[in-house]
Amino acid sequence: MDKIKKVHDLHDEIRDNVQRALREDIGNGDLTALLIPSDRTLKATVITRENAVLCGTQWFEACFTALAPEITIEWFFKDADRVQVNQILCEITGPARAMLTAERSGLNFLQLLSAVATQTRQFVDAIAGTNTVIVDTRKTLPGLRLAQKYAVTCGGGMNHRVGLYDGILIKENHIIAAGGILPALTHAREIAAPNVFIQIEVETVQQLQEAIAAGATMVLLDNFSLAQLRDAVAWTRQHAGQRIILEASGNITLENVRQVAETGVDRISIGGLTKNIQAVDLSMRFV
């Protein structure tokens, strides 16, 4: 979240996300909500149907208050808290029509972002006790990148670059188009501002050695086997010490993530944290 705050105002992002969500759902008006008397005030609760890590309370709340500022929400948990099945997450009080209109958009944000935080926490817990950190990627839902990257931090993970503008990641196609590892890295150093990191992706230990010889300080080891990762870490620590950040990526699952961490890599990036998501089961019910 700290990195996101440095690049963007998260409050503005929440407002924009919520405005788009409400606009696409409501259109010219909520026809079904007209069944409810306009002066009716009710209370509702949101309950989780499964164990999860809560995330997205600000987005949820903004969906309701955007339609009726007088709506009040009392939270019993905060973002990044672990919640258990059948626990009440919050109580909502206000105009019934506005609450019903905001319900789906609010729950969509809360279910999605809690799912990202929950999945991230599973990976973080799986490598507990190692010196490796879990990081996200740019494989996010269009329009919701900052929200999902915030959710990753609530799950205990760290953010990689936010977008193409705040970091240089030289991948296979960049290397081919630039004419090789050395010219790609050389040009990257020429154009990068002091606060922009430069990372290069390699697919073999030989390419790793070439990249470090060319001055790389941050290397992405793409789709390396466990044996190749161990060889890469051993060679790097012997010849370059701890100054090189090694990141593993590709085909990382909950079943193998600890083995990957135990090879000694500094970071593990996982696109599935934000891409392969099954929403947390939440429900809102009037009291």
Find the catalytic residue in 171, 230, 258, 275: 171
Find the catalytic residue in 15, 43, 104, 138: 104
Distance CA 61, CA 75 (A): 10
Band (3; pLDDT cuts 50, 70, 90): low
Mean pLDDT of 130-134: 97
The full DSSP string for 188-224 is HHHH--TT-EEEEEESSHHHHHHHHHTT-SEEEEET-
> Has residue 271 got a pLDDT over 50?
yes
Quote the percentage of the chain above a pLDDT of 90: 94
Distance CA 240, CA 252 (A): 26
Give residue 242's pLDDT: 84
Catalytic annotation on 171?
yes
Give residue 6's pLDDT: 47
Catalytic annotation on 24?
no
State pLDDT tens for residues 213-251. 999 999 999 999 999 999 999 999 999 988 899 999 999
Q: How do 282-286 and 41-48 pair as beta strands?
A: antiparallel
Looking at residue 152, the DSSP 8-state letter turns out to be H
Give residue 97's pLDDT: 97
> Has residue 178 got a pLDDT over 80?
yes
Find the catalytic residue in 13, 136, 222, 247: 222
Contact 94, 70 (CB under 8 A): yes
Which of the following CATH numbers is that of domain 2-124+277-286: 3.30.565.10, 3.40.50.720, 3.90.1170.20, 3.30.1490.190? 3.90.1170.20
> Has residue 9 got a pLDDT over 80?
no
> Has residue 273 got a pLDDT over 70?
yes
Band (1; pLDDT cuts 50, 70, 90): very low
Catalytic annotation on 70?
no
Per the CATH hierarchy, to which homologous superfamily does domain 130-275 belong? Aldolase class I (3.20.20.70)
> Has residue 203 got a pLDDT over 70?
yes
Catalytic annotation on 5?
no
Mean pLDDT of 22-38: 96
Domain boundaries, the chain: 2-124+277-286, 130-275
Give residue 209's pLDDT: 96
The per-residue pLDDT of the chain, averaged, comes to 95
Instruction: Give the CA distances from residue 87 to residues 46, 115, 275, 279, 284, in Å, rounded to whole numbers and listed in that order.
Output: 9, 16, 27, 17, 12
CA 78 to chain centre: 17
Q: How do 282-286 and 267-269 pair as beta strands?
A: unpaired
Find the catalytic residue in 3, 15, 43, 139: 139
Q: How do 52-53 and 267-269 pair as beta strands?
A: unpaired
> Has residue 2 got a pLDDT over 60?
no
Catalytic annotation on 222?
yes
Band (7; pLDDT cuts 50, 70, 90): very low
